[in-house]
Every structure is written in structure tokens, then in C-alpha cells.
Structure 1
Amino acid sequence: MQKEDLVYFRRWFFEYVNRLFSPDSFIQENLELKIEHTERVCENILLLAKSTKISEKECMLAEAIALFHDLGRFEQFIKYKTFRDSESENHAILGVKILNKERVLSRLSGEEENLILKAIEYHNLMEIPENVETCSKLYFFSRLIRDADKIDILRLASEEYAEEGCRNPALELYLPDAQGYSEPIVSEILNNRMAKVGDMKNRNDVKLLRLSWIFDINFPATYSLLKEYGYLEAIMASLPETKETGILRRHFENYLNDIESETRYGNSKT
């Protein structure tokens, strides 16, 4: 990939999203939200990429992946008014279809085009498919976009929860503001696993699911950024004070302390 390719991709992206302007203020608000999200994920992925000392060309590949990772979200929200894939369609696959239909990546080599498309396809899965070799470029870039994406979603969530009177129901997947927590989600967290979207029953569960993403963080720099920004603490503070909350808070704190110790002594799984 060359610099002019990335310039072309940026120009195409903004021309594309501008074509989708909606007179419906709720739809347009969420389209603009995704534009801002995309820009921040591009910033995040470059921070993470540079922390790994990869080449300038590889940094451009990473930015292209970030630029297009949520491309399908725009048509998804216009058509279904939801960001929940299970109630609409898989936004990653939709984005890949759009890129293929528009032949946006045709100026790249076949290897680069395939890498970008696959990293986009895998970015929202529970885990990267087992058939992807852990030493491959695809595995590296898939982990990179997954971390960069999570950082900004956690940012957005923490800011949303801080503004109690200005909530966007689409970000909470239209779930009710009910008391309690889903037991399967609590169980997954206490076993250091990411919670499942299908187990969410209310807004508290959405918060816990997002917090559970710390069990799928891939780079030490990601943990450092999350600690610096305080997103996890802000989301945790927005949960009601209950016995379960106290247990979960201590579990998260212990897990993060263990990760920090492993990273400090050069024994991190990342």
C-alpha cells in the first residue's frame, strides 16, 4: 500500500457516508456517531501499531482496516435502526460486501485486499477463527483492530453513562433499564471470559458485557491506554452498588493487576 492509496480510501469513505445523509434526526445522529467512532478507531489503531514497531506501510494497512471496519454500520442503521446484528444483519459482512461491490480495494495487491477484508470480517466475532495461523499477518491485524475498536466503544460508553439525561437507546441496544444482572453474564466474567450478547437482558448487562472485553485484549499498549483514560472505572462506577457489583469490581481489579504484573516482568500473554 502507498500513501496515495490511503488518501484515496479516506476520500472515498467520507464521500460514501455523505451520500447516506438522512433527514431522520435519530438516524443521522447515529450515522455521525459512527463517523466519529471510525476516526477515533483510526487514531487508536495507529497508537497500537506504532507500539509494536511495525513498518510505515503496515501502519497504513492498519489504518485502512480501521477506516472500513464499521462501514456496514451505516446501511445497517438506515435500514434497521439498530446496531444489534442478531436483529438485523452482520455489519462486518455487510461492510465487506459494500467494499467488494464498489471495488474500493481493487487498487491494492490481492494479498493486501484479502488481509483488509478478512480483518474486517473477523473484528466483531467472539474470537478469531482457529484456522487463522497465530504467526500470520492476518492474525496480527485482526487482533489490532479488535483492540482499537474496543477502546473507543468503551470511551463512548463511559461518556454516555456520565450523562444520565442524554442516553442514546441505540447504544444500549434498546434494552430496558431494569434492576439486577443476567446470571450467565456474571458467570462468564468470573471465569475470565467475554460475555455473550444473547445473554443480555437489561442495561446493566450491556455494561458488564463491555467490561468483559478486558478478557480479549491483545496488546500491552491497550491496557495502558485503558488505564490512562479510566474508561473501565467510569463504566464500573455507573453500575448500582450491590453485593454482585462489589464481587465483580474486585474480580476486574485483580485481573487487571495480574496483567499489569505480567507485562511489567515480561511474561504477558499479549
Structure 2
Amino acid sequence: MQKEDLDFFRKWLLDYVSQFSSPDSFIQDNINLKFGHTERVCENILLLAKTEKMKDKGCRLAETIALFHDLGRFEQFMKYKTFKDSESENHALLGVKILKKTGVLSRLSLKENDIILKAVEYHNLIEIPGCAGSKELLFYSKLIRDADKLDILKLICEDYKEEEKCRNRALDFNLPETPGCSESIVKDVLNGRMAKMGDVRNQNDVKLLRLSWIFDINFPATFTILKKHKYLDTIISSMKEAEEVHIIEEYIESCLNAAAINSSNRLNRP
């Protein structure tokens, strides 16, 4: 992939997103939210790629994946007014469908096409499929998942600090702010597993689900950023009337420290 290809993709995305401009402030604010998210995920993925000492060509491929990872979000929100896949459609698969339909990737090699399409498809799965393909595809899939999680955690932590009237309910999927947590989600977290969106019942559950993302972090730099900005601390402190919070907090902290050590001892690059 050449620099000219990446420049083309950046302009193409700008033109594509402009189709979703809306006089409805709720829609427009969330379209802007996702475009801003895309820009920051591009920054994150380049940061992670460079800490892994990737060459320019690899960095360009990584940034292209980040550019398109949430392509389906714009059509999803315009059509359904929600970011919740279970109440609309899988935004990753929708993004893949759009990429194929528009043929925007046709200027690239078949190998690059395949890596981009599969990494976009896998970025929101609870785990990367066991037979994901080449070591290279697995690497890029892990890269986009880490870069994506970092910005979502940043975004929601900023939202939790907002005054109640200014909060964006789309980020919490419009779920009720009731006390307590779902037993199945607490069980998943305390067993070191990623929680499932299907078990989420209230805002505390959403917060636990996002805390459980530490069980799917792949790069040492990601752990460093998480600890530096205290995203997990912010989420935990925002949970209301949940007896399990202190137990979960201690467990998450121990897992984060252990995972950071394990990750630093692991070779991620293809």
C-alpha cells in the first residue's frame, strides 16, 4: 500500500460521511461522535504500530483498517437511531458490506483487501475466531481491537464526568440507571472472561462489560495508556449502589498488573 492509497481512503471517508449530515441535532451529534472516534482510533493504532516498530507500509495498512473499522456505524445510526447492534444490525458486518459494495478497496492487492475486510469484521467480536487465518491477519485484528477499546474507554470516561443533563445516552444504549449488577456479568468478570452484551440489563452492567475488556488487551503500550489515564478507575468510581464494586475493583487491578507483565513478555508482531 502506498501513501497515495491512504490519502485516497481518507478523502473517500470524508465524502462518505458527509452523506449523513442531518438537521436533527441528535443524529448529527452522534455522526460527529463516531467520526471523531474514527480519527482518534487512527491515532491510537499508529501509536501502537510504532511501539511495535512497524514499517511505513504496515502503518498505512493499520491506519486504513482504523479508518474503516466503524464504517457501518453511520448508516446504522441514521437508520436505527442506536449504536446497539442487537437492536439494529451488526455494524462490523454492515461496514464490510459497504466496503465490498462500493469497491473502495479495489486499488489494493487481494491480500491487503482480505486483511482489511477480516480485521473490520473481527473488531467487535467477543473474541477473534480460532482459525482467523495468517499470523499477519491476527496481528492486525489485535491491533484494531486495542486501538478501538482505548478510545471507547476514553470517550465514556469523559461522558461519565459530564453533568447529568449533558450526558450522551446513546453511549449507554439508553439503559436504565438501576442499582446492582447482573449476576452473569459479575461471574464473567470475576472468572477473567469478557462479558456478553446479551447479559447487559442496566448501566452498571455496561460499565462491567467495558471493564472486562482488559481480558482482551494485546499490547504492552495499551496497558500503559490504560493505567496512565486511569480509565478503569473512572468507570468503577461511576458505578452506583453495586455491592460487588470493591471485589471487582481489587480483582481488575490484580488482573491488569498481571496482564501487563504477561503482555510485555509476548511477541505480537507477525
Q: Same fold (TM over 0.5)?
A: yes
What amino acid sits opposite 1:158 in the alignment? C
Partner in structure 2 of residue 228 of structure 1: 228
Contact 2:175–2:203 (CA under 8 A) maintained in structure 1: yes
Cα deviation, residue 262, structure 1: 3.7
Partner in structure 2 of residue 196 of structure 1: 196
Partner in structure 1 of residue 161 of structure 2: 162
Cα deviation, residue 261, structure 1: 3.9
After TM superposition, list the pairs within 5 Å mapping 1:200-219 onto structure 2: 200-219=200-219
Cα RMSD, aligned residues only = 1.4
When normalised by structure 1's length, the TM-score is 0.96
Contact 1:161–1:167 (CA under 8 A) maintained in structure 2: yes
When normalised by structure 2's length, the TM-score is 0.96
String of CA shifts for 1:150-205, please: whole Å, max 9, x gaps.
Answer: 00000011001111321111111111011110100000000000100010110111
String of CA shifts for 1:119-148, please: whole Å, max 9, x gaps.
Answer: 000100011111124x62110000000000
Contact 1:73–1:95 (CA under 8 A) maintained in structure 2: yes
After TM superposition, list the pairs within 5 Å mapping 1:12-23 onto structure 2: 12-23=12-23
Q: What is the CA–CA distance in structure 1 between the aligned matches of 2:241 and 2:177, rounded to whole Å?
A: 15
Partner in structure 2 of residue 176 of structure 1: 176
String of CA shifts for 1:200-237, please: whole Å, max 9, x gaps.
Answer: 11011111100110000011111011111221111111
Q: What is the CA–CA distance in structure 1 between the aligned matches of 2:73 and 2:107, rounded to whole Å?
A: 24
Q: What is the CA–CA distance in structure 1 between the aligned matches of 2:262 and 2:58, rounded to whole Å?
A: 27
Partner in structure 2 of residue 82 of structure 1: 82
Partner in structure 1 of residue 95 of structure 2: 95
What amino acid sits opposite 2:12 in the alignment? W
May I ask how many residue pairs the two structures share in their alignment?
267
Partner in structure 1 of residue 49 of structure 2: 49
What amino acid sits opposite 2:170 in the alignment? A
Cα deviation, residue 260, structure 1: 3.5
Cα deviation, residue 240, structure 1: 2.5
Contact 1:44–1:151 (CA under 8 A) maintained in structure 2: yes
Q: What is the CA–CA distance in structure 1 between the aligned matches of 2:129 and 2:257, rounded to whole Å?
A: 29
String of CA shifts for 1:10-59, please: whole Å, max 9, x gaps.
Answer: 00001110121011110111000000000000000001111111111000
Contact 1:259–1:268 (CA under 8 A) maintained in structure 2: no
Partner in structure 1 of residue 143 of structure 2: 144
In structure 2, the CA distance between the partners of 1:248 and 1:138, relative to structure 1 (3 Å rule), is same
Contact 2:179–2:241 (CA under 8 A) maintained in structure 1: no
Partner in structure 2 of residue 246 of structure 1: 246
In structure 2, the CA distance between the partners of 1:2 and 1:203, relative to structure 1 (3 Å rule), is same
- Which is worse superposed, 195-204 or 163-172? 163-172
Q: What is the CA–CA distance in structure 2 between the aligned matches of 1:97 and 1:78, rounded to whole Å?
A: 16
Q: What is the CA–CA distance in structure 2 between the aligned matches of 1:241 and 1:87, rounded to whole Å?
A: 27
Quick one: percent identity of the two aligned structures? 61
Cα deviation, residue 269, structure 1: 8.2
After TM superposition, list the pairs within 5 Å mapping 1:31-70 onto structure 2: 31-70=31-70
Moved over 3 A (4+): 260-263, 266-270
Cα deviation, residue 67, structure 1: 0.3
Partner in structure 2 of residue 153 of structure 1: 152
Q: What is the CA–CA distance in structure 1 between the aligned matches of 2:242 and 2:87, rounded to whole Å?
A: 31
DSSP-derived class of the 1:106 partner: helix
DSSP-derived class of the 1:105 partner: helix
Cα deviation, residue 241, structure 1: 5.6
What amino acid sits opposite 1:240 in the alignment? K
Q: Which runs of 5+ in 1 are unaligned?
A: none
